[in-house]
Amino acid sequence: MKYFSYLCARFVIDNYMKKIFSLLVILCVAIGMMAETTFTFTSNTDTTQTKDGITVVLAKGSGKNAPLFTQDYETRQPEMRLYQNNTITISSETNLTNIQLVCAKSSASNKEYTGLSASVGNLVSGGVATDKNDWKVDQWTGSATQVVFTLTGGKQRRIQRIVIDGDPIEITPVEVVLPTENDLEAEYTYTEPTTIHVPDTQFFKNEYAFVDNNILVHCGQGSIIKATDSTEAYFNCNADNQLRFTATQAIKGIAITGYVRKAFSATCDKGTIEYLSDEDIDIDNERVLIIRDINDKSVTINCARQIRCYEVKVYFNDNPALTDDEQGIESVATPTKAEKFIREGILYIRKGEKTYTL
């Protein structure tokens, strides 16, 4: 009898434990279903991604351009750029209830977070960005296994990440840390001259700085543009801003090959700008700015107009030489018409392959 009672009690306890176990399994599954799933972007191949039974597809839709991977101009964070009529399709094995799209504005003239629609559910726009580092969150709620977002407006949308079933996202300003003189190597040995290369990155209308060959380049506001099939890489300094070059030993001179806007004029805090005017053209038919006799570890150029730098050479031993200005020299490039330029107070005329003085 005692044994029978024991078996009955054991049966009740076992069934009770099984029910508890089943409830725990259901609870764990429910928690797993409610877990946050985040999609980010690192390349153009990220237009289709699947995680936790959820698939996100970014597509061209009826637009002219397909979504494009890029980096935010100010914060340099990776993002996917959407154009008009591009779509984001989000599908799930279970019902979707909460989706957040974290977006950055694309430029000062393109900051509206409107024009996005959803095929089902309720979509609340993040609003209007107020400054260059102001990101917004589009919030979707509903109950569906698939949602299609379409960018119906005429402006771009930059998606930094997509968060599903996550806690409400609070956007805080992203701190951008630029290199300084402290990032230079004190014992670095420079070549003569030392060339500054354009970095393989891109910024837009913002303060920037980079270090190449142990020379710090700092610009108050400008841009760094990658090379394309038709253009070479360059960096700009916008009008009414400063372009500064810093090294760990005294700079003698700087030669910039590039382009300057019409009516360009510039000053420098050290040294003398010897070669700069609207009509000054070097032997390769490229505009040039040359600073001589700097004799300091840092020099700042004050740019009254925008200057575009394709190549910068920094001299530590000797001043950069002015380009050849002898009579009758042969030019590498053949201009289509006669060109006048003044060099050291002398008027020259270049026509065809020859350069003449009056």
Domain 181-321 CATH (choose: 1.20.1300, 1.10.260, 2.60.120, 3.30.1540): 2.60.120
Tell the CATH topology of 34-164.
Answer: Jelly Rolls (2.60.120)
* Residues 226-274 pLDDT 10s: 777 767 788 989 889 999 999 999 999 999 887 665 445 788 999 988 7
C-beta atoms surrounding 95 within 10 Å: 11
C-alpha dihedral sign at 43, 46, 52, 57 = positive
Mean pLDDT estimate for the chain: 77
Please state whether 334 falls in left (phi above 0), alpha (psi between -120 and 50) or beta: beta
Q: Considering only CA atoms, which of 285, 288, 230 is closest in space to residue 258?
A: 288
**Helix (H) or strand (E) run with residue 61 in it:** none
C-beta atoms surrounding 346 within 10 Å: 10
* Residues 173-219 pLDDT 10s: 667 788 999 999 999 999 999 999 887 766 656 788 999 999 999 99
User: And the tokens for 98?
Assistant: 């909460």
* Residues 281-323 pLDDT 10s: 444 445 578 899 999 999 999 988 888 888 899 999 999 887 5
Q: What is the DSSP letter of 181?
A: G
Q: Could you tell me the residue ranges of all domains in the chain?
A: 34-164, 181-321, 324-358
Q: Mention every residue, 6+ apart, whose C-beta is less than 8 A from residue 128.
A: 111, 112, 113, 114, 136
pLDDT > 70 in the chain, percent = 67
| Mean pLDDT in residue range 82-86 | 90
Q: What is the pLDDT of residue 281?
A: 45
Q: What is the DSSP letter of 304?
A: S
pLDDT > 90 in the chain, percent = 38
Asked whether the domain spanning 181-321 has the same topology as the one spanning 34-164, the reply is yes
User: And the tokens for 346?
Assistant: 């002398």
Beta bridge partners of 225: 234
